[in-house]
Amino acid sequence: MTLTRTAIVLVIATVVLSGCVNTHSLYYFGNYSAASYAYKRTPTAETRAELKESLLTIISESERRQKRVPPGIYVELAMMEFEDERPGRAKQYLASELALYPESATLVERLGAQMAPTGGEE
Q: Using one digit for the tens of pLDDT, what is the confidence trace for 47-65?
A: 999 999 999 999 999 999 9
**Is the pLDDT assigned to residue 122 strictly greater than 50?**
no
Type of residue at 1: M
Specify the pLDDT at position 119: 52
Burial tier of 47 (Cβ tally within 10 Å: 0-12, 13-18, 19+): middle
Radius of gyration over every alpha carbon of the chain, rounded to an integer in angstroms: 21
What percent of the chain shows pLDDT beyond 90? 68
Domain boundaries, the chain: 27-114
Contact 116, 84 (CB under 8 A): no
The pTM (predicted TM-score) of the whole model is 0.75
